[in-house]
Structure 1
Amino acid sequence: VPVFLYFLFSDFSHGKLLALIVFIAASITDAYDGIIARKYNIESQFGVYFDPLADKLLVLSAFYGFMFLPVLTTTVKLWMIILISFRDILVTLMRMLMQYKGVT
């Protein structure tokens, strides 16, 4: 997330492109690490609980970052981001609670 945000707000010529590449790479590696962990039965409690939070942090940081980009300030509104953030956090917390209770 810090590398993505650094490139997103950097002033050099290819900063936005590098931010996009970092975001895509993080998303792809996130998808594959879960698949590999399940395939080889190497899931950890840490990964089960914190992987969804890391996913939300990446996506929400992108939304909040877009809100401050001059090109998108008229398109991306704060109320939209707050609504999406609330929904994502609520769903993640409910999912974690269900996993904790053994309901999957």
Structure 2
Amino acid sequence: MEVQNAAEREHVVSERLLTIPNVLSVLRLLGVPFFLWAILSGRDGLALLLLMASGVTDYLDGKIARHFHMESRLGAFLDPIADRLYILTTLVGLLWRDLIPVWLVAALLAREAVMGLMLLYLRSRGQLGLPVHFVGKAATFNLLYAFPLLLLANRDDWLGDLARPLGWAFAWWGLVLYWLAAVLYAVHARLVITRGSRTVDA
């Protein structure tokens, strides 16, 4: 019983607003318009710095939240929003500059549409959301690694030649994991709905 209570304390999600992970998530969100401006205006150096800073803070806010028990509802809300905004703005910027093909953008946006519809359906059944799955986070990390490399691939030198295959490797892994995460979320959502229906029937 004591072990169970200790585990429950470790996974408490608080209502606190002012925490280090939440501050990092807010800073990531504030960086989105600057990143979009940088990538659309061809300021690749600044865009790369902002994108790398986003990846580092994304890693740190989750690590700090788990290690110091600072997990909060606000953080759980802000973190996926920041991830999606960076992915969306990067897709828009790279597509605008013809650095990635339309099919990649379509595949990633289609996955977002599927997830959006799934969450809307869950909300209609009284379920506010789903916990973040490690496969989804792995997909996000792969994509956030892929985008700066694909941006570097635009260079006509050895650095561009090196970045191109690495960028596409991360992009493919990110795309596959992104859709795999959607399947896992769908399975989890069905289990949640099934359990809810059994509870109501009982």
Aligned residue runs from structure 1 range 54-69, under 5 A: 54-69=82-97
- Alpha-carbon distance in structure 2 between the residues aligned to 1:54 and 1:61: 11
Q: Which consecutive aligned stretches of 4+ in structure 1 deviate over 6 angstroms post-superposition?
A: none
Q: Does 1:22 align with 2:50?
A: yes
Distance 1:60 1:87 in 2: 12
User: Gapped runs of 5+ residues in structure 2?
Assistant: 1-31, 120-127, 132-188, 193-202
User: Does structure 1 residue 98 correspond to structure 2 residue 126?
Assistant: no
Q: What's the counterpart of residue 41 of structure 2?
A: 10
CA contact (8 A) 1:4 1:19 kept: yes
User: Whole-Å Cα distance in 2 between the matches of residues 35 and 24 of structure 1?
Assistant: 17
Q: 1 CA distance for matches of 2:111 and 2:92?
A: 15
State how far apart, in whole Å, the 2-side matches of 1:90 and 1:37 are: 28
Offset at residue 43 of structure 1 (A): 1.3
TM-score where L is the length of structure 1: 0.74
Q: Please tell me whether Structure 1 or Structure 2 has the larger radius of gyration of its CA atoms.
A: 2
Q: Which runs of 5+ in 1 are unaligned?
A: none
SS in 1 for 2:71: coil
Q: Deviations over 1:20-47 (max 9, x none)?
A: 1110111111111111011111111011
Q: Identify the match of residue 63 of structure 2 among 31, 35, 41.
A: 35
Identity of matched residues, % = 32
Structure (1/2) with the larger helix percentage: 2
Q: Does 1:81 align with 2:81?
A: no
Q: Distance in 1 between matches of 2:60 and 2:38?
A: 24
Pair 1:47 & 2:47 matched: no
For normalisation by structure 2, the TM-score amounts to 0.41
Query: Aligned residue pairs: how many?
Result: 93
